[in-house]
Structure 1
Amino acid sequence: MWRASIFTLFPEMFPGPLGLSLAGDALKRNVWRLEAIDIRAHGLGRHRSVDDTPAGGGAGMVMRADVLAASLDAALEPDDPRPRLLMSPRGKPLTQARAREFAEAPGVAIVCGRFEGVDERVIAARRLEEVSIGDYVLSGGELAALVLLDAAVRLLPGVMGKEESGAEESFENGLLEYPHYTKPRVFEGHQIPDVLLSGDHAKIAAWREAEARALTAARRPDLLKPKARKS
């Protein structure tokens, strides 16, 4: 079973939206498993402290290496094969290809940072891979973890109604997805393109390919640039 372990100071944030819709239904059917682990359980002293002032000075607080390491070590076996991730704005961008890699793994272990960040030593010592969902800063890693989990869980076998649904989406083939239409045939004077009602599957496929390329060129031309060859 695909398993997600989330290390967080706010375990009550999970499953959150992942308890609804496709992911929630799959969770109830035991297609995947989610456990939210409270980092503060390994906090220090009477107040279960998990952070301290940054070395060298500066604003805010930093999550302690010893506390986070204790939380990880208590929950994860040394030979756990799942990727160990840290949601961070300085990480590598989450892409559809990476989401599919996570879905094909046995699961994921995700650390949700808070405050100014996480002590660099625990990132290195526990081999945490930093992952970003965009060039902006959130209050913590929990919302980013929810995004990553949703992107991966929906790709698990048995989650989506039709397996081919995921194959034709944006980014799966390097293009943005083509436009979609449904009833009514005419809406406020705008008709469904005739080709989609023609029953000619070859023409429909060609139209969708052309529309996808046009949308990608207009909105994300960077996706159409040739990839540099690795030497």
Structure 2
Amino acid sequence: MAIVGAASYRPVWARPALAAAGAVIAVAVVVAVVRLPVRDAAVWAESLTVAVSAVLLVAVTWWLTGRADPRDRRVVLTWGLGSGLVLGGLWIAEIAFNNLTPHSVSTAGARGVLDNLTWAVVGVGTVAAAGGVAARTGRWRSGLRAGVWSGVGSGLGAALGGAVLLAGFRSFVEADPLMRDEWRLRDGGVDLSLYVTRETMAGVGGHLWVLGVGQGAVLGLLASSVVIAATRYRPRRATPEAAA
């Protein structure tokens, strides 16, 4: 009977975390549209697209975590998905600050600084996870996988924060003076609640796939490639015997 190495076991928390995040996102974006005071086919289509894409992402990642004995699965998921969920928590905190704190605190300047800082920390965290796994395993593919998993985790966290905000706290966003100014400038003829829902829904999808999975894949590939290249092709010191 084959004995599966400890490195191939997945963390027990991985699948529940994926399923919970995906389910909340899918339900929240649909609830957000149901609660709108106006009906709009385009918003319904966007909401269902986000919901289905979140469910599909969870389904694919669920399958990936259960594949037969993939190399370095435990370290990849622990460093990759684990770091991503923590970074997703940072996105949730950023979303909460921008939308739920007093407007005298969450000024345009403060939001800009926090947005850039959060993005930078998420990027550095993804690079660190991917590079650390590549260095530990000696395989760039494992580092790349860790980067993708980190992006999955951070993307799900950010999308969850945006979806819950839209489903339960849309009135806070509508009362935001900065949002109202943007609405009047860009599309004042559309109902405010509809405009807020469209913009936030686009942000949910963008954070999930672009700043999440996409960014994780790119940073994971770069970080793991650099680490492996640095460890494999660094110059070797000449030994006394070779010098003689």
TM range (shorter): under 0.3
Using CA pairs under 8 Å that are at least 6 residues apart, name the structure with larger relative contact order, 1 or 2: 2
Q: Which has the higher helix share?
A: 2
TM-score, structure 2 as length reference:
0.26
Query: If each structure's strand is expressed as a fraction of its own residues, which one has the higher value?
Result: 1
